[in-house]
Amino acid sequence: MTAGQYDRIYEGWARDPGAFWAQAAEAIGWERRWDRVVDEPKPHFFRWFPGARLNTCWNALDRHVDGGRADQPALIYDSPVTGTIRTYTYRELRDRVAKVAGMLVALGVKSGDRVVVYMPMVPEAAMAMLACARIGAVHSVVFGGFAPAELATRIDDAKPVAILCASCGIEPGRVVAYKPMLDEAIRLATHKPRACVVLQRPMAKADLQPGRDHDWDEAVDAAAPADPVPVLATDPLYILYTSGTTGQPKGVVRDNGGHAVALAWSMPNLYGIKPGDVWWTASDVGWVVGHSYIVYAPLLNGSTTILYEGKPVGTPDAGAFWRVIAQHKAVALFTAPTALRAVKREDPDAKLLAGYPIPRFRTLFLAGERADPDTVEWAGHHLKVPVIDHWWQTETGWPICANPVGTQLFPIKPGSCTKPMPGWDLRVLDAEGQEVRRGDIGALVAKLPLPPGALPTLWNADQRYVDSYLADFPGHYKTADAGFVDDDGYVHVMARTDDIINVAGHRLSTGGMEEVLASHRDVAECAVIGVHDPLKGQLPLGLVVLKAGVTKPNAEIVKELVALVRDRIGPVAAFKTAVVVDRLPKTRSGKILRGTMVKIADGGEYKVPPTIDDPAILAEIADALKDVGYAKG
């Protein structure tokens, strides 16, 4: 990497985006090349590489088998909850995926049909995704164990021909039966799939409905392998549902061509990952991170990807991550800040790390929510590698901002996601759509067109796409995140725009206050929310989880936290209340449910989010907030 290389690359993209992405597209194999790099068939709707034809599965598997990587590991399945480790070479994975694709063909699935995948973190989940891509079907992965009502809404929206399911998922200490939830979802749904294929796991065998349900192993074994089917670059590869403010989930569409080009570019240039490197993303295939960086990007790049069925703590302890890195010789880990905070809480001095030598480990990447500086510094201190916080969303498909270690490693500023990547023309705007002064907080938006890999629209909902993302700031994509750009051009994502609170006319970032709370030596993780106040409009309220082994009285810690915010941010923050809790409510991907806690604190009605990790925690939060005078509705 050379000083100034990022500037040359970014300026080259800005000068001629078409030429930049055409060159990036040379990393992908095409059955037919594009008529033009980008098209705008109607205002605000952009399509990348129109006219081109390719197959994403062929690019991820067959191309590497034919190109000399047939015997290289493609996927390592590591499951501490079942005591299983299994490795698939590129040839083995290609052959297995071809059989799964053949099974889908035998069930009548064809190019353009939708297939819902409702599975835990098992190799067959990745095989299902790649098999759909192989025959041109559109997969929609729903997080395994999702509630029946929520699964039913996705079935009705996607209208799948088939559903691929596992009999159960394995959590530490319990088995979660999936098939009864799927049966109930199908009962609730208006649309009925023609077929369900069930992977029978020995921990909980499922009852199969004659005529509709099929045993996975039997169906795959009986199938003839299917060849890749070329599709248009603009055809959808998958639909991934994300929460909508109306309660109706939004089906984010990802196309084949732009997606492959963007992810293939990101692996060497952004993440510094070479073909043959062992790469680990500790996420779930139900989330966009799992789609992009467990399955597609590492395989498009010819790398080895780890698929992990376990937790950061409890399977068996807070050394689980270090064990996986050491055992499989991973050069990089991509995980959520909340996972690191869980490890830090259980093992604050990282003593378990000493038992796992990781000399090949080069980089730790964090995303999914804002990485507080304390966690970044803790990880960097113990791992002795760069800790890269980067920022992206389900809708964008790959990072908006990052520290591109494969191109030029910038000095790390804890709390910043560093610089925009090529393709992202990022602006900071006020409510009237005017750019704010450098250093001021505003809405983070991206000037259109969005780059390859970002969503071209929502599934069967073009107008909702416009209303949700484009209407508020014409000509720009609204990220719904707020932040600022500092004097060095570093981007700081401070909070969701909903989490910028107004205290007596002062717009304050809850993320900035969380930074201060997280810096306290006894705090493992925290959240700051804005609660209603009749005098000042809103007031900040802190919720903190303490590190294991802390014996100091809670009241003393709260007093120190209030003084710390007053000292670091000032009296303007009006930060006067914090409460110690055992845990924070989170989604299964690790995002803290701040909006739900606001509704609890203000005494309003709230819906239990379908993505919540453990609904029982909401009652605990309500009880804790009542102790400090909130949640009185």
For residue 443, what are its two tokens? 């809405």
Is 510 found in the same domain as 456? no
Q: Is residue 221 part of a domain?
A: yes
Is 601 found in the same domain as 518? yes
Residue 243 pLDDT exceeds 60? yes
CATH number at residue 161: 3.40.50.12780
Is 256 found in the same domain as 115? yes
Q: In this structure, are residues 320 and 80 in contact, taking their beta carbons and an 8 Å threshold?
A: yes
The rounded distance, in Å, linking the Cα atoms of 211 and 418 is 54
Is 258 found in the same domain as 194? yes
Is 604 found in the same domain as 548? yes
Share of the chain above pLDDT 70, in %: 97
The rounded distance, in Å, linking the Cα atoms of 573 and 513 is 8
Is 521 found in the same domain as 477? no
CATH number at residue 597: 3.30.300.30
Structural domains of the chain, count: 2
One-character DSSP codes across 244-312: -TTSSPEEEEEESHHHHHHHHHHHHHTS-PPTT-EEEE-S-TTSHHHIIIIIIHHHHTT-EEEEE-S-S
Residue 517 pLDDT exceeds 90? yes
For residue 72, what are its two tokens? 């290289």
With CA atoms as reference, report the closest residue to 304 among 321, 327, 336.
Answer: 327
For residue 509, what are its two tokens? 């970032």
Q: Is residue 84 part of a domain?
A: yes
Dihedrals phi, psi of 72, to nearest 5 degrees: -80, 140
Q: Is residue 326 part of a domain?
A: no
What confidence tier does 532 reach under pLDDT thresholds 50, 70, 90?
confident
The rounded distance, in Å, linking the Cα atoms of 126 and 216 is 14
Residue 633 pLDDT exceeds 70? no
**Residues 108-142 pLDDT 10s:** 999 999 999 999 999 999 999 999 999 999 999 99
Containing domain of residue 560, as a range?
Answer: 504-626
Residue type, 103: M
Q: In this structure, are residues 479 and 400 in contact, taking their beta carbons and an 8 Å threshold?
A: yes
**Residues 27-84 pLDDT 10s:** 999 999 999 999 999 999 999 999 999 999 999 999 999 999 999 999 999 999 999 9
Is 518 found in the same domain as 478? no
Is 228 found in the same domain as 167? yes
Residue 505 pLDDT exceeds 60? no
**Residues 159-192 pLDDT 10s:** 999 999 999 999 888 899 999 999 999 999 999 9
Q: Is residue 364 part of a domain?
A: no
Rounding to the nearest 10 degrees, give the CA dihedral for residues 261, 267, 268, 274.
Answer: -120
Is 175 found in the same domain as 114? yes
| Mean pLDDT value across the chain | 93
Is 526 found in the same domain as 411? no
With CA atoms as reference, report the closest residue to 374 among 144, 575, 568, 587.
Answer: 568
What integer pLDDT is reported at residue 264 of this predicted model?
A: 98
Q: Judging by DSSP bridges, how do beta strands 114-118 and 138-141 pair with one another? A: parallel
Residue 2 pLDDT exceeds 80? no
Higher pLDDT, 18 or 2: 18
Residue 216 pLDDT exceeds 50? yes
Which residues sit opposite 251 in a β-bridge? 241
What is residue 66's DSSP assignment? I
What integer pLDDT is reported at residue 37 of this predicted model?
A: 98
**Residues 398-446 pLDDT 10s:** 999 999 999 999 999 988 999 999 999 999 999 899 999 999 999 999 9
3-class DSSP state of 136: coil
What is residue 27's DSSP assignment? G
Residue 227 pLDDT exceeds 90? yes
> How far, in Å, are 95, 131, 144, 289 from residue 121 at the CA level?
20, 16, 8, 13
**Cα angle: 519, vertex 523, 528; to 5 degrees:** 80
């939708």: which residue's tokens? 114
Is 72 found in the same domain as 16? yes
Higher pLDDT, 120 or 509: 120
Return the beta strands (E) in 367-425 as ranges.
387-389, 401-402, 419-420
Q: Is residue 401 part of a domain?
A: yes
What integer pLDDT is reported at residue 607 of this predicted model?
A: 82
What integer pLDDT is reported at residue 242 of this predicted model?
A: 86
What integer pLDDT is reported at residue 248 of this predicted model?
A: 76
Residue 241 pLDDT exceeds 80? yes
With CA atoms as reference, report the closest residue to 601 among 512, 505, 515, 510.
Answer: 510
Q: Is residue 518 part of a domain?
A: yes
For residue 601, what are its two tokens? 């604190």
What integer pLDDT is reported at residue 413 of this predicted model?
A: 93
Q: In this structure, are residues 73 and 104 in contact, taking their beta carbons and an 8 Å threshold?
A: no
Residues with Cβ < 8 Å from 354, sequence gap 6 or more?
none
Is 511 found in the same domain as 475? no
Q: Is residue 352 part of a domain?
A: no
- pTM for the full predicted model: 0.86
**In the predicted model, what is the mean pLDDT of residues 270-277?**
98
What confidence tier does 1 reach under pLDDT thresholds 50, 70, 90?
very low
Residue 372 pLDDT exceeds 90? no
Q: Is residue 434 part of a domain?
A: yes
**In the predicted model, what is the mean pLDDT of residues 284-312?**
96
